[in-house]
């Protein structure tokens, strides 16, 4: 029998920072405008009487949408459809008023610096700084990640500057001067009658390595930055061929081979538009997941890429090419909500391999169970065809292990090996589980790096059978201790008590094979031991018709205690008001999942840890995710916290702007659609 125990490292995914960057930069630019509106040293938005439609715009045709200009190879796209209007809408929100509060100014200033730092990733490629963009666009502003060909990535910035040509010219002049000052060499070309400024830009060492050039010659050490300016558009890109493609469509007023013609993009936008007919959203966004991941990888220096079989390869082999597009609309200060978001996933069947796991039936009962307390931070429930997911998990497991049939061997070993649990996992456990899965989060005070609490609950069809199966699985594990708590059997994950008990180490191939980095075997062992259980303080119990899995035993004990009616989340008036929005006002007649959050409670642990400068040490789900995304790459070395939390005010100042939030998802013939809101407090 071949078994495997994985650490969190084995399931680490490629960094999502570039994906977040597109959305952060657009929103950050808007937020920065709102923050700095009263600052005479920074360009503010035009006066309100001319903000909506600048006079020059009425004299010219409406410029084409950015999605009709960008090429069909665009794999990441975010667009503020009207920069001025979006800023005005943002300024109406409680979040904007919070950021304008004088007590928030030190943090707001630091946040602006952080936005500039985030933008620097693109500034290095496009030669334009975030401050330079303020007050330039009068209409749509977009960022795009493009995959012109396999193994290559390009970034594009397009701004509608109709009626604001003077500022656009100033932006172009400043950008050109900046590149020249950095040693770039400029040449002027005419493409479709439009002046195009092409710069040969010295690459940084990381960029040279990512491009596979090594910098051994003058030519090899140079990259490209390209600018153009028309009556309506300013453009910047780091690939001349992409610019030629964009300008061809701009001049010909055509849409052929553009992003707007990509089926995945069309279907995502069509689904969102069906929910909001004749409506122009504040922000549109789109990602082709695998294409985006490939482009991000292409832009990453080889030594920083995951070695061996990549997540991209695994996803492609496992049928996740079925996901043709993910995207949606985001609006601020609309329909009485601070934020209203719509997200569509276009994934038409049939599915293959482990992609077949993703079956989320539309359910009926979403009400919080009697054991869900009123003071939880978030509540989320979803219907999952668990038996189907189990039956289709094997190919993914085999792919990760890189050996066909190992999943079946593992299950057979669990059933027949005399030293194993001797359990038919599918028959005795999985088949006795229902389809409803619930997750709740909470935290302990005072806030520390270990404050967060999570609990998952899976409904059972036969509680006694599930309890028996769980006991079979864990009773012989020396790191799991049986406890009796208030009449319930609880299995607690603990440190191994008997150091003399021999431990069986089974070596299986990991997702990323270890390379010879000079570490001794003892050092590697230390790294592995540091990882430990995914839930090092976790606990499991079968009770109240649920299989409970908790991150900490104290949270499980709290959950097992009976609650009077007034202490339950379901009876709280504010919850009921928000729940009614999700049920009756979002327009989703059928739902497969629904969630609720006391946003202030959900945010408080992260906020306090940032204030303490301890977010990199956080053991919370968000903290672990951030650490994975922005890690130093060295085992046991936490990432550096970028925000100076010492400048943050007391959380009570922030709490007043964070209303509750809720969202729901519906499963449809060709994918999934989600809609959610952040309420005004």
pLDDT digits (tens, 9 = 90+) for 113-151: 766 666 666 676 778 887 788 899 999 999 999 999 998
Q: What is the Cα–Cα distance from 472 to 481, expressed in whole angstroms?
A: 13
Does the model's pTM come out above 0.85?
A: no
Q: What is the Cα–Cα distance from 333 to 93, expressed in whole angstroms?
A: 6
Lowest mean pLDDT of 78-82, 203-207, 302-306, name the range.
203-207
> Does the pLDDT at position 493 exceed 60?
yes
> Does the pLDDT at position 537 exceed 50?
yes
3-6, Cβ contacts within 8 angstroms, sequence gap of 24 or more: 3/410, 3/413, 3/506, 3/508, 4/401, 4/406, 4/410, 4/506, 4/508, 5/506, 6/510
Q: Is residue 240 within a helix (H) or strand (E), and if so which, with residue range?
A: helix 240-252
**Burial of 623: CB neighbours in 10 Å, binned 0-12, 13-18, 19+:** buried
pLDDT band at 11 (very low <50, low <70, confident <90, very high): very low
CA nearest 134: which of 184, 181, 83, 173?
A: 83
> Does the pLDDT at position 178 exceed 60?
yes
- pLDDT of amino acid 619: 66
Q: What is the Cα–Cα distance from 128 to 141, expressed in whole angstroms?
A: 14
pLDDT band at 507 (very low <50, low <70, confident <90, very high): very low
> Does the pLDDT at position 557 exceed 90?
yes
> Does the pLDDT at position 515 exceed 60?
no
* Percent over 70 (pLDDT), the chain: 76
pLDDT digits (tens, 9 = 90+) for 316-334: 999 999 999 999 999 999 9
> Does the pLDDT at position 15 exceed 60?
no
Contact between residue 199 and residue 186 where contact means Cβ atoms under 8 Å apart: yes
DSSP 62: P
- Read off the tokens for 615: 């977010």
Q: What is the Cα–Cα distance from 465 to 483, expressed in whole angstroms?
A: 19
CA–centroid distance for 120 within its chain: 20
Contacts of residue 54, Cβ cutoff 8 Å, sequence gap at least 6: 46, 138, 162, 163, 164
> Does the pLDDT at position 14 exceed 50?
no
| φ, ψ dihedrals at 570, nearest 5° | -60, -20
- pLDDT of amino acid 206: 57
- Read off the tokens for 670: 């060709």
Listed by start position, the domains of the chain span 17-256+289-304
pLDDT band at 171 (very low <50, low <70, confident <90, very high): very high
Contact between residue 354 and residue 395 where contact means Cβ atoms under 8 Å apart: yes
> Does the pLDDT at position 286 exceed 90?
yes
First to last CA, the chain: 57
- pLDDT of amino acid 627: 52
DSSP 288: -
- Read off the tokens for 105: 């100014």
> Does the pLDDT at position 184 exceed 60?
yes
Contact between residue 285 and residue 139 where contact means Cβ atoms under 8 Å apart: no
- Read off the tokens for 582: 């999700």
- pLDDT of amino acid 85: 93
pLDDT digits (tens, 9 = 90+) for 427-474: 999 999 999 999 999 999 898 888 999 999 999 999 999 999 999 999
Q: What is the Cα–Cα distance from 486 to 227, expressed in whole angstroms?
A: 70
- Read off the tokens for 79: 């667009």
- pLDDT of amino acid 308: 75
Is the model more confident about 615 or about 593? 593
pLDDT band at 614 (very low <50, low <70, confident <90, very high): confident
- pLDDT of amino acid 333: 93
- pLDDT of amino acid 601: 93
* Percent over 90 (pLDDT), the chain: 61
- pLDDT of amino acid 511: 28
Q: Is 544 left (phi over 0), alpha (psi -120 to 50) or beta?
A: left
Lowest mean pLDDT of 200-214, 528-542, 631-645, name the range.
631-645
Average pLDDT score over residue span 12-41: 40
Tokens 């021999």 identify what position?
Answer: 502
Average pLDDT score over residue span 247-274: 96
- pLDDT of amino acid 37: 38
The average confidence (pLDDT) of the chain is 82
pLDDT digits (tens, 9 = 90+) for 466-490: 999 999 999 989 999 999 998 999 9
Contact between residue 281 and residue 329 where contact means Cβ atoms under 8 Å apart: yes
pLDDT digits (tens, 9 = 90+) for 70-94: 999 999 999 999 999 999 999 999 9
> Does the pLDDT at position 546 exceed 60?
yes
DSSP 405: T
Give the length of the chain.
681
With residues binned 3-state (H G I as helix, E B as strand, rest as coil), the percentages for the chain, rounded to 5, are 40, 20, 40
| φ, ψ dihedrals at 336, nearest 5° | 85, 5
248-252, Cβ contacts within 8 angstroms, sequence gap of 24 or more: 248/192, 249/64, 249/68, 249/69, 250/64, 250/69, 250/192, 250/194, 251/192, 251/193, 251/194
Cite the DSSP H helix spans in 591-674. 599-612, 621-629, 651-655
Contacts of residue 507, Cβ cutoff 8 Å, sequence gap at least 6: none
pLDDT digits (tens, 9 = 90+) for 359-412: 999 999 999 999 999 999 999 999 999 999 999 999 999 999 999 999 999 999
């Amino acid at each position: 029998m071949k078994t495997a125990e994985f650490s969190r490292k084995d399931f680490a995914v490629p960094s999502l920072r570039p994906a977040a960057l597109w959305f952060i930069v657009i929103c950050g630019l808007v937020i920065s405008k709102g923050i700095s509106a009263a600052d005479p040293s920074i360009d503010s938005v035009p006066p309100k009487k001319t903000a909506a439609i600048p006079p020059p715009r009425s004299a010219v045709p409406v410029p084409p949408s950015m999605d009709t200009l960008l090429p069909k190879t665009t794999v990441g796209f975010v667009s503020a459809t009207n920069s001025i209007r979006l800023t005005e809408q943002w300024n109406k929100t409680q979040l904007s008023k919070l950021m304008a509060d004088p007590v928030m100014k030190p943090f707001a200033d630091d946040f602006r610096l952080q936005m500039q730092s985030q933008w620097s990733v693109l500034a290095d490629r496009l030669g334009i700084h975030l401050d330079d963009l303020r007050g330039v666009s009068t209409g749509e502003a977009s960022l795009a990640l493009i995959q012109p060909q396999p193994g290559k990535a390009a970034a594009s910035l397009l701004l509608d500057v109709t009626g604001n040509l003077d500022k656009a010219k100033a932006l172009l002049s400043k950008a050109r001067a900046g590149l020249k000052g950095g040693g770039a060499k400029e040449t002027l070309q005419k493409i479709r009658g439009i002046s195009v400024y092409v710069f040969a830009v010295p690459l940084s060492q990381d960029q040279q390595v990512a491009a596979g050039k090594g910098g051994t010659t003058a030519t090899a050490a140079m990259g490209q930055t390209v600018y153009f300016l028309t009556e309506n558009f300013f453009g910047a890109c780091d690939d001349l061929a992409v610019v030629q493609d964009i300008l061809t469509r701009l001049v010909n007023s055509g849409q052929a081979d553009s992003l707007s013609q990509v089926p995945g993009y069309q279907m995502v936008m069509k689904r969102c538009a069906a929910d909001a007919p004749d409506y122009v959203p504040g922000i549109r966004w789109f990602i082709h997941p695998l294409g985006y991941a490939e482009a991000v990888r292409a832009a990453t220096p080889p030594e920083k890429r995951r070695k061996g079989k990549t997540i991209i390869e695994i996803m492609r082999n496992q049928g996740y090419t079925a996901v043709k597009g993910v995207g949606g609309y985001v609006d601020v200060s609309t329909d009485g909500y601070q934020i209203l978001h719509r997200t569509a996933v276009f994934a038409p069947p049939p599915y293959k391999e482990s992609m077949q796991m993703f079956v989320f039936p539309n359910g009926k009962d979403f009400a919080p169970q009697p054991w869900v307390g009123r003071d939880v931070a978030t509540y989320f429930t979803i219907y999952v065809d668990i038996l189907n997911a189990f039956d289709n998990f094997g190919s993914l497991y085999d792919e990760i292990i890189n050996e066909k049939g190992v999943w079946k061997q593992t299950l057979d070993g669990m059933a027949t090996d005399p030293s194993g649990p001797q359990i038919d996992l599918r028959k005795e456990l999985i088949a006795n589980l229902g389809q409803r899965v619930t997750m709740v989060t909470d935290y302990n005070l005072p806030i520390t790096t270990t404050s967060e609490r999570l609990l998952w609950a899976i409904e059972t069809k036969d509680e006694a059978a599930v309890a028996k199966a769980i006991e079979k699985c864990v009773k012989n594990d020396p790191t799991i201790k049986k406890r009796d708590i208030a009449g319930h059997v609880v299995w607690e994950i603990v440190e191994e008590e008997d150091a003399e008990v021999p431990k069986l180490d089974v070596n299986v191939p990991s997702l990323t094979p270890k390379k010879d980095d000079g570490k001794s075997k003892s050092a590697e062992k230390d790294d592995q031991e540091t990882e430990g259980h995914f839930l090092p303080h976790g606990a499991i119990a079968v009770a109240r018709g649920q299989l409970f899995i908790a991150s900490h035993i104290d949270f499980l004990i709290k959950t097992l205690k009976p609650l009077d009616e007034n202490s339950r989340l379901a009876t709280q008036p504010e919850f009921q008001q928000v729940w009614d929005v999700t049920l009756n006002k979002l327009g989703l007649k059928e739902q497969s999942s629904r969630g609720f959050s006391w946003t202030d409670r959900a945010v408080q642990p992260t906020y306090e840890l940032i204030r303490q400068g301890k977010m990199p040490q956080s053991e919370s789900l968000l903290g672990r995710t951030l650490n994975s995304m922005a890690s130093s790459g060295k085992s046991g070395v936490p990432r550096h916290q970028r925000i100076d939390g010492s400048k943050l005010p007391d959380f009570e100042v922030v709490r007043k702007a964070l209303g509750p939030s809720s969202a729901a998802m519906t499963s449809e013939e060709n994918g999934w659609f989600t809609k959610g809101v952040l309420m005004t407090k």
